[in-house]
Chain A
């Protein structure tokens, strides 16, 4: 109501983009790229999540305060993952992590 109505075309293109990215992520998982498999899968997931949040949830036109709240959620999630992993890593529980 406070915003202009978005065209069906834009929503449809986001929908198609999300489907294409889903097919891409499945196709990439069939290739053996070593560590890059995980990086590629997560990168595609982040792109898809961003598209849904920005266009379907209309975050791109939301107020700064709403954007700040959304960013704070991700920041806290990053703290959770980073501190948990650095704890386990520094205790030598993670076989793949040697640099901690």
Chain B
């Protein structure tokens, strides 16, 4: 058995000794990542739960806030994130094929798109700041009836998009890490697990946005 471990180490340097083979190691990593992602579902789930309750308690106030959401930026950001998910999946594909240059190019492109998203988010937050739409002592609202209730929606808006943005920043940091690893020739077509795991995380953050966009920007848009 010790001998086979040595052979393993020579043939597959990234295979840890407590796994039978690379397939089992990859399965284990994927499963672990998904377990982490469902804890993230629960984390965002609390906020989605709060949103669901207050949207049903104050339906008119929530609908009235839609006109103050920047739908154009929201829609562009949705497209930017979807595009970044596409470049991310292309990065994983390049890693599978052992194409180092394409891998780095797609990872950098994903990172740039993530930064575009965050920049547009900053523009949006700044708009809210200028319009006094940040809940607190300086909050102002066009419709006096909903002064208090609208603050709940804006609070949820900042909590949910803010937590999402923090996840994007963390994702950007991890992208920088894998770009450096790729540049140092750490990956091969036989082992690229970090690229794949960060891909899972990136797509998950995309899915969260896919749900945030209609709930925060499109609800009550017609009213």
Contact = CB atoms under 8 A, between A and B. Distances in A.
Given A26-B218, A77-B41, A96-B56, A56 B75 contact: no
Interface in B175-223: 189-192, 199-200, 203-204, 206-207, 210-211, 213-215, 218-219, 221-223
Contacts of A12: 86
A72 B38 CA distance: 8
A32 B93 contact: no
B41 A73 contact: yes
Interface string B37-55: 1100110011011001100
Given A1-B190, A37-B222, A45-B210, A97 B56 contact: yes
Contacts of B53: 84-85, 88, 94
Q: Which 3 A/B pairs are nearest by Cβ-Cβ distance?
A: A73-B38, A41-B214, A29-B218
A52 B210 contact: yes
Interface in A1-53: 1-2, 5-6, 8, 11-12, 14-15, 18-19, 22, 25-26, 29-33, 37-38, 41-42, 44-45, 48-49, 52-53
Interface residues of B, number: 55
Nearest to B189: A1
B64 interface: no
A93 B53 CA distance: 9
Contacts of A74: 41
A81 B49 contact: yes
B56 A52 contact: no
B115 interface: no
B207 to A, nearest CB: 5
B93 A5 contact: yes
